[in-house]
Structures are given as structure tokens and as C-alpha cells.
Amino acid sequence: MTNPCVLSLNNLTKRFGSVVANDAVSIDLHRGEVLSLLGENGAGKTTLMNMLFGHYVPDSGSIDVADEFGEMHPLTLGHPQAALDAGIGMVHQHFTLAESLTALDNILLGSESLLSWRHNRNAARRKINGIMERTGLAAPLDEPVGKLTVGERQRVEILKALYHDARILVLDEPTAVLPPQEADTLFENIGAMTTGGLSVIFISHKLREVLAFSNRIVVLRHGKKVGEIATEDADERVIARMMVGADTPATPRVSMEPGAKVLELKSVTVKGDNARTTLHSVNLSIHAHEIVGIAGVSGNGQSAMARVISGLASPDSGVMLIDGHKINRFTPPAMQKAGVGRIPEDRHHEGMIGAMSVAENLVIERLDDPEIQKLGFLRRKYIRSNAEELSRTYDIRGPGIDADARLLSGGNIQKLILARVFERSPRLILANQPTRGLDLGAANEVARRLLKARARGAGVLLISEDLDEILALCDRVIVIHDGQLFEAHSKDRQAIGLMMAGENIC
């Protein structure tokens, strides 16, 4: 990359008490380049970006940014407005849009003075239309943001940054919330933007994306820059080794003879309002010693299926059998009793209660157990020792078993849920997006546990938007499209991708 440098971070160091969040990190970004910033959770990516945006003042080091003529100037540190003025824009993982305002209002927010008249908007609209044309970022400007899809909202965020003349754009895990199709569109848009001279810093966990769409990769570990590599020289193993500091052995998947049927769905139909919540006469069976993957673009009925198997909703017609027994009542306790272990899609919202302790969260699914209660009163001693044991076995790290579960990191919350599900040795495990948003180490742990359960004789239904994960873990792959299931006859990535898009379905 011979283009001129537009941003250089020089030896940035930040300490929080005794913790060194960033240790002399230096990064250069060139014009028109996509730079990936990789690292496990807690590696210091966020701290680094917060220093760039003036939210934190570095303990030492400096930042230089190019102005519109390409001359480098030092950036005033600890001053967000300075970062904005220097043409640095950020799109956060969690969007910062006002839902009741239109997309246009959101884009203009913060750039209009209180006293300006509305006629300035026509000029603004022309400018935004120009940007949309150049980059292919399409969003309905006059709809309230609350009515837009996640992908559209993200495009509004990017448009907002570009409207404010950003020359450097930071995207924090932009694809964590997007279905694969929309992610691909996003990357096309990024491509169009970089040809126009924009430079992009791209924070992600997904190695495949990083490899496919960036020019250069910088890896952070424990606050230090541990590697920098041109994408063309990198492959997944090289990067994974940089990220965790050692080779991560892909968990060996021995082949196993499938056993008896643990789950059978016979013409299960759910009538929903939209594709997300609809299933059309679905048939599916899962055997012991088998992991079955449901691949598909999100919003094609995965959530309806998960809700039925979790006991959160009843099907409108059809039969569900677990271990050969027909399910009559579709409630969470009935499913638990039947032997279904459930890893919910939204672990923060459905998987745990943030304001209750880790120990309490670990027993929440078995309150009627005589080990947990005696005559309606909790057996604190058992609950605590149970939590201590599970924290050890499942390596749940955090401020302790009496601390609120909300204080755990995403990966540790997932470990808590795994501990709760797997300790009951369920016959069937429903894992709905079990690694979404997790770092590599935690995602590997989930995979290891699922394979272990399979070895024990459980059947696993893995719903995931990450096709690589499904291909790596599953014995059989089933594609869900428009509320219907289609068995994939091979693990051919291309063919499955086409089926996910609704083509070549036989």
C-alpha cells in the first residue's frame, strides 16, 4: 500500500489502575485502506478507539491525522469534537439513533444549529443523495428510524458519519447484527467508499470477513500490538494464533453412529405475522450422537422454530416428539422435564437475570429441585457450593458467585448458561446462535461443550447464522428458507449459500 498515511497512532499507552489496557500501540492507516483490528474481548480494541475519539486521554503517546490536503497534524487528545472535526467518524456496535426521528433528521442531528431554518434541508438532502449514489448506501430518508431494518439503520449511521465529512470511518463489529446477505452488501459499500478515498478501520471477530474484505490486519492481545500482516499473506490459522497466542486446536470431531431419535417434528406449522415467525409444515428429526445445523439467513423462521422447541410458543398444528414421547404442553417447564436444554438466542435478555447473582442464575431452571429448596425455602448452602463447583468446571470468570450476573462479560455469561444447561445432561440441546458476539476463546469453548454433549449421546440442534460454524460442527446441515426446511446433501459452501438465498432448492 503506497497511498499516503492519513492517521497514525504513535505509542499510545493507557492504564486503568494496575491494568495496562494499551501498551505503546502504534498503528498507521493509509488512504483508501481497510484495516482490520482484531483481538479477543478485553484485548484493548475499544480502549484504543476511545482514545482516538477523545473519550479517554492516553497516558502517553500521540495521534496524528491528515487534513483534507493530506498534511498531518497532531490531534488534540481527550476532545471528541476535535476527532469529529478532523474527519473521524464512528459507527458503534449498538446504534445511537433516535428511533422516532426520520433517517434524515438523525443524519442532520448535531450538525444543524438550533436556529437554522428548514430550507437548509434541501441542500442537505442533495448532499446525502450524492453520497448514497457514490457509495451505494441506500436508506429511506423519510421513514422514522424505528421502522427501518437493522441493516438500514446501520447504513443511516454510516451516512451520518459521511455527511459529516468523515475521511476515516471506524466500524465496531458491523456485521454482528447483520444477516450474511446484508453483510455482503455492506462490504460492497465499503469497497465503493474506499475507492472514493475513505479509510476504514474495521473491528471484528469473524476471521473469514476480515480475510475477505480488509487490506491489512492488526492484532491486539493483552493491550499490545502482537502482529500486523497484509491480508494476502494471512490465513485463519496464522491470525488465530496471533490472537490467542497459541495454536487453537480445532476440536477434533470424530464421526459417530447416530442413535435413537431424540427430536422429531412432524408437519409442524406456526402461523406468524411475518417470515420471521412462520413455519410451514416442517419435518425434522435429530438422533442421539448427532449435531444438526440449521443454516439460513436470519428472519426465515429460525426464531419460530426455536420458540416452539424452547416451549415459548405452541405450534398451530403438527406434532413434536422428544425421545419418542409426544409433547402436549408447550411451556418452558414442560420442555425442561422432557429433557430439552435450551441456549437462548439473546443471552442478555432471555438467558440470565442481570440483577441477580451468578449463583442464583445457575439454579433458576431447577427451583423445584429438592436440592435447591426445602419446604419452599432456598437452600443457600447448596446453591453456593453448586455455583462454586460449576464456576470451576465451566471456567466462569468474574467478580464472584455472589456478584450480579450483569457484571460478567459476554463470554462468561454464555459459560454460565452452558453450565446451567449441560449440568442437567439434557437429551436434546437447542443452541440458538450460541457463539454470536463471542470472542474466539469463548466460541471454541461452546463448540467443545456441544461436541462433548454429542459424544455423551445428546442430540444437538444448532441454529446459526455463521455458516462456517455450522460446517465445522454439524453432522447434517439443513437450510431454512421462508419457513421451510431443506436438507443439504453435501457440505458444499457454495451450494448451501445458494439454498440460503432460496435458489437451487430441490
Give me the residues that bind other proteins (CB under 8 A), please. Answer: 54-57, 76-80, 82, 310, 312, 331-333, 336, 342, 344, 349-356, 360, 364-365, 367-368, 372-373, 376-378, 380, 399, 403, 407
Q: Which is nearer to other proteins, 372 or 446 (CB)?
A: 372
Cα–Cα distance for residue pair 491/158, rounded to 1 Å:
35
Q: What pairs with residue 162 in β-bridges?
A: none
Measure the CA–CA gap between 436 and 176, rounded to whole angstroms: 7
Asked whether the beta carbons of 354 and 347 are under 8 A apart, the reply is no
Q: Which is nearer to other proteins, 55 or 127 (CB)?
A: 55
Gap between the Cα atoms of 202 and 267, Å rounded: 44
The length of the chain, given as a count of residues: 506
**Shortest Å distance, C-beta 361 to other proteins:** 9
Residue 249 vs 370, nearer CB to other proteins: 370
| Residue owning grid cell 453520497 | 131
Phi, psi of 316 (to 5 degrees): -75, -30
Q: State the nearest-atom distance from the C-beta of 125 to other proteins, in Å.
A: 32
- In the complex, what is the shortest distance from the CB of residue 402 to other proteins, in angstroms, rounded to a whole number? 10
Would you say 57 and 77 are in contact if contact means Cβ atoms under 8 Å apart? yes
| Residue 49: CB minimum distance to other proteins, A | 15
Nearest approach, Cβ of residue 128 and other proteins (Å): 29
Closer residue to other proteins (CB): 401 or 500: 401
Angle separating helix axes 410-422 and 440-456, nearest 10 degrees: 10
Specify the residue, 407 or 498, whose C-beta has the smaller distance to other proteins: 407
Strands (E), 116-260: 168-172, 199-203, 216-221, 224-230
Helices H, strands E: what count in the chain?
16, 22
Q: Would you say 403 or 455 has its CB closer to other proteins?
A: 403
Shortest distance (Å) from residue 343 CB to other proteins: 11
Beta carbon of residue 466, minimum distance to other proteins (angstroms, whole number) = 23
Biggest CA–CA distance in the chain, Å, is: 76
Note whether 1 and 28 are within 8 A (CB). Answer: no
Cβ closest to other proteins, residue 98 vs residue 353:
353
37-66 CB burial, b ≥16 within 10 A, e <16 = bbbbbbbbbbbbbbbbbbebebeebebbbb
- For other proteins, the closer CB: 225 or 347: 347
